[in-house]
Amino acid sequence: MEHLINLDKELFLFLNGLGSEQFDGFWKIITKQLYWIPFFIAVFYLVIKKEGFNVSFWRYFLSALFLPIGIFIVLFFYRSYYNDEIFLKKAKNVFVIILFLTVLLTFTDQITNLFKYSFERLRPCNNPEFDGLMREVITRKSFSFFSGHAANSIASTTFIVLIIRKYYKHTYLLFLFPLIFAYSRIYLGLHYPGDILTGYLVGGIFGFGFYKLYLILGKKYNF
């Protein structure tokens, strides 16, 4: 175990050392969920299209971007295209996916915090071993193992990709999001590679598990 921990630290120093000050601002943006909102909205457009809503992308995107409930406003606007029964079924399916995704992220986040405060592994930026050896771009006071950014991003991406993969080609490209998102944590000096990989493993299991639960309940309750 000690050998793996040392290897994890060495790999961190290598990857963290690849950074350059001129790119620090870019990775500070990448690591914040707020700046990914347009991407999240665009991905959820694929979910809505999968359910059969013939919605203009830009009308949907702008409404969802500037209004907290914009997605449902757009769907309600298009209600006249369907009879009540069809519309309600489609809207229910979208709502169920949002509900599952919300519960999945909440569950994953709480498990991540449980691990962090159980293991209490210091973040690289707070580890005195690395004084003068690493690029410390930003700091956080919480613990390191494992990465919530990695776990949440891979859990949500796995869940969504499994739902929409039958309807679109190249959905696997969505996994670029958790790869880039999680790497920012190493670049900024906030996580070890082991934190990221463990987060991927846990998040992937949770995302797949919630997808299976979605299928089981979908058959039972017809959504």
Does 78 score more than 60 pLDDT?
no
Residue 90 clears pLDDT 80, i.e. is over it: no
Domain encompassing residue 212: 29-34+82-221
Q: How many domains does the chain have?
A: 1
Residue 53 lies in a domain: no
Task: Give a yes or no: residue 6 inside a domain.
Answer: no
Answer yes or no: is 198 within a domain: yes
| pLDDT at position 193 over 90 | yes
User: Which of 184, 181, 178 lies closest to 158 in space, CA to CA?
Assistant: 178
Say if 18 falls within a structural domain: no
CB 47 within 8 A of CB 94: yes
Residue 171 covered by a domain: yes
Residue 153 Cα distances to 116, 181, 183, 223, angstroms: 17, 8, 12, 25
Neighbours of 29 (CB within 10 A): 11
CB 6 within 8 A of CB 30: no
**Tens digits of per-residue pLDDT, 39-48?**
888 888 888 7
DSSP string, 34-97: GGGHHHHHHHHHHHHHHTT----HHHHHHHHHH-TTHHHHHHHHGGGGS-HHHHHHHHHHHHHH
Task: Check pLDDT > 70 for residue 29.
Answer: yes
65, part of any domain: no
**Contact of 69 with 19, CB cutoff 8 Å:** no
What is the DSSP annotation of 170-218? TGGGGGHHHHHHHHHHHHTTS--HHHHHHHHHHHHHHHHHHHHHHHHHH
Residue 81 has pLDDT above 60, yes or no: no
Structural domain includes residue 10: no
Could you tell me the pLDDT band of residue 107, with boundaries at 50, 70 and 90? very high
pTM for this prediction: 0.86
12 within a domain of the structure (yes/no): no
